[in-house]
Structure 1
């Protein structure tokens, strides 16, 4: 049985049978060559929810009735020998970032991780996707707890490596390989696979959702993750509307164009609902608590994975370099970009280095989506790839044999081919404008919770006080030299990055 969801749609949300049966070369909502391994947690009742007529969907865990959330509730706790990980995670609650081993509780916990946590085998989890995900979540939380509970290091010192004890490193790398995900905490860990419903019959409402795992046990952190989860809850409806439009775009007769315009109007309204949800993060997430107590646990960086041999150099342990969890890793938002044809590739005058989430991601002229896709579940990456291929410009794909005059599923291409006064073009622009409003709201929230808070001192007694005071002194000297405000590397990069995202969205509007 799938996840109880207050916005689940009936299975009959596709176009009529004749139009829906016209196969495309690439079907993001239909069959793919990927065949997931059978798992005890797979539910055959979910399969029909993401079929394109009779073909098996992209993945048994991604569909029109669950969106990018799992088709069944996540595992909330590991059992058997793996319960040792859960116990270690329980013991980490209450630790503060940056305290180091001068703090007795921190010292004892870190010593336990180094000296007492055994290296547990994960082979028995290979065919159990739900428990693999929980294992990745717990081990990644443990790694971030271990790294950031240590004494703060001088950020100006190059090539600083944090060695991850083998009791965490070995199983985390093994689980990550099985899941085809990076060995670091991701958005999928903190949001997609980190919840349970108090009463499944009541569906996803703020009052009915519990976030299972946090660093701080604070209401602010729970609300922060819950906000992202409530955004994902709207995913099934977004995907259904996109599928309707893509199905109709195959035909492109007058009735189909009218239906596409109607679907886009509804999608624009739904994107505005996403914006409303994002804005409500401020209701119960305190910006100061987020910046100084929650966010420090998220950071990625270079890690030496003890006990994991580097395949390129067997004489040393594997070294990884990844960022931490970010809302930029949400496949839902990227799918809207792909569907609407929003191009985030940097202009020649821009460099990828202004992206604050660059660690461990592809470089050069890779797009924002390509960098963030590294951190997504593998079936989400496949979905985005197939969706993008399906919506390529008509000049780049082969005309469908069954419809010689139709060469694209792209609603943007269709809108570009209609008069400036057409309903389709107006509806398309409504969608893009709504996405722009969503990004503007997200920018305001991010600037409030990160850039603005970086200017305010940490709480009294915080491990970050000394570093903050030193940074203020350096920035004061720079302002005096340059005669202009300087927010600091992190704040400046974030502001520029968010501004560019808004600009790229605005560029997608059709005149």
Structure 2
């Protein structure tokens, strides 16, 4: 269990910063923290504790989200399974809530500009509202997000330079608070702020992500220290480098163990049938609808931003792209294209840190390869400690990817195929709404009317390639 004392740092500035590509030797710890929102202890987990509520000027957004969560709105797919009075009641409850959303005033965001944490909270709240709105509509109804949500969400997203849609950052990384404020942040002292279903499974799903990220933070810091040493010292201490690489490998294995707790804490049935439907974006809409955004043309740059409205997923986490880049794990064209697609869903600072690592010449791997060359040229029989520890870290990444494949298979692929089989057997197909079919969201890898099973089947092959490519990265 990780136990870390709460940070007292000020929230980072929201000013836009252009990414530069410098070696670790040119960058101090403060620069990494303020520029890239990367904490030495917490990694990508935000500090201080994320905002739980916006200032009073935007209270209407907060109360609207509160009403959706407290009212336990029923997803449109689940309403289909209800009968009689209960179905009518749920439809009416959802309709009244959506009416309230449509009648919300269009709140200006001018006073949020320059306040990073408030902007993040606004993005999260509006993103959740958009999901509740879209997924309580009948599957035969077109989806048109009201101006009261579209305009501020696009403007906030533009300030943050992040996709105008709920992301992994919104539902996982920035969606936690302390259970006991008198105690430090730890894996058993965190709870989600906002849930779609209000279930323990959904809370644990998001908190597993936080625990995994906290373990991974240890690896990130050790790899940063190695990169710093090999780029600043004319005679790096190999024993110290090996020790740090070993600690990085151990931390990656701890992240893998955190991931594996999913089997114990989250039911595959609850994930696929209860939680996942709320997280789907246009690329996985069950009725293949185009999501329209009222008033979007009033916000400059909206057309470009609205290319990035794919479903949130763990691929939007910055953790393993950063670990891969720190270790110098090579990118083929497919992996490069994948990373380029998911970067817009990450917090700007995290995205820029990954880009920095991807372009800094892979100093850790370069050092290890140099040690291996000297080892081969030397008559000494002792193998390089650094080479062995580096390979240990790479193997730990492979073990994580193997565990991730198992999760994807059990929680998405198998349930999706079972669900599609039941639909075929019962002759069920959702009625086609007026604005169907939807084209694939840009960069999300879906084409036309692919089923979720087909999409995930393709993803499994893709993830296996990632895992297998890691195997060939060890320095031999």
Q: Which TM-score band applies after superposition, normalised by the shorter structure? A: 0.7 to 0.9
Give yes or no for the alignment of 1:378 onto 2:348.
yes
Q: Give, in angstroms, the shift of residue 268 of structure 1.
A: 0.7
Greater relative CO (CA pairs within 8 A, separation 6+) = 2
User: How far 1:312 moved relative to its partner?
Assistant: 8.1
Deviation at 1:249, TM superposition (A): 1.2
Aligned residues: 417
Unaligned runs of 5+ in 1: 11-23, 32-47, 155-160, 347-351, 353-364, 394-407, 459-463, 473-485
Alignment of 1:423 with 2:419, yes or no, is no
**Residue number in structure 2 paired with 1:495:** 460
User: 1:77 — aligned with what?
Assistant: 53
* Contact kept in structure 1, 2:216 and 2:252, CA below 8 Å: no
Counterpart secondary structure, 2:297: strand
Task: Decide whether the 8 Å contact of 2:6 with 2:185 is kept in 1.
Answer: no
Contact 2:21 / 2:356 at 8 angstroms: preserved in 1? no
Comparing 233-242 and 74-83, the one that deviates more? 233-242
Q: 5+ residue gaps in structure 2?
A: 8-19, 81-86, 283-289, 377-382, 430-450
The Cα shift of 1:344 comes to: 3.7
User: Are residue 6 (structure 1) and residue 3 (structure 2) matched?
Assistant: yes
CA contact (8 A) 1:304 1:318 kept: no
Which residue, 311, 324, 338 being the options, matches 1:368? 338
Contact 1:29 1:57 in 2 (8 A): no
Q: Name 2:475's counterpart in structure 1.
A: 510
What residue is the counterpart of 1:322 in the other structure? 309
Out of 164, 184, 197, the residue aligned to residue 145 of structure 2 is: 164
Query: Structure 1 pair 286/57, CA: closer, same or farther in 2 (3 Å)?
Result: closer
User: Deviations along 1:403-446, whole A, 9 cap, x unmatched?
Assistant: xxxxx874454455343632222111111101100110111011
Aligned twin of 1:65: 41
CA distance in 1, matches of 2:470, 2:300: 41
Which shifted more, 217-226 or 330-339? Answer: 330-339
User: Helix, strand or coil for the counterpart of 1:210?
Assistant: strand
Distance 2:411 2:404 in 1: 10
Q: How does 1:330-369 map to 2 (within 5 A)?
A: 330-346=317-333, 366-369=336-339
1:279-318 to structure 2, matched below 5 A, reads 279-301=260-282, 302-309=290-297
In 2, are the aligned partners of 1:68 and 1:380 still within 8 Å (CA)?
yes
The residue number in structure 2 matching 1:434 is 396
Q: Secondary structure at the match of 2:296?
A: strand
CA distance in 1, matches of 2:425, 2:67: 29
Provide the aligned C-alpha RMSD in A. Answer: 3.3
Q: Which moved more, 1:79-88 or 1:95-104?
A: 95-104
| Mapped contact 2:155–2:299 kept (Cα < 8 A) | no
SS of alignment partner, residue 95 of structure 1: coil
Secondary structure (helix, strand or coil) at the match of 1:234 reads helix
CA displacement, residues 88-129 of structure 1 (integer Å, 9 cap, x when unaligned): 112222122224896221222222222x11111111111221
What is the deviation of 1:253?
A: 5.8
TM-score by length of 2: 0.79
Q: 1:268–1:434: 8 Å Cα contact kept in structure 2?
A: yes
Are positions 1:96 and 2:74 aligned together? yes
1:381 is displaced (CA, Å) by 1.0
Q: CA deviation at 1:501?
A: 1.5
Structure ranking higher in helix proportion: 2
1:29 to 1:332, Cα distance in 2 relative to 1, 3 A = farther
Query: Which residue pairs with 2:133 in the alignment?
Result: 146
Alpha-carbon offset, residue 507 of structure 1: 2.1
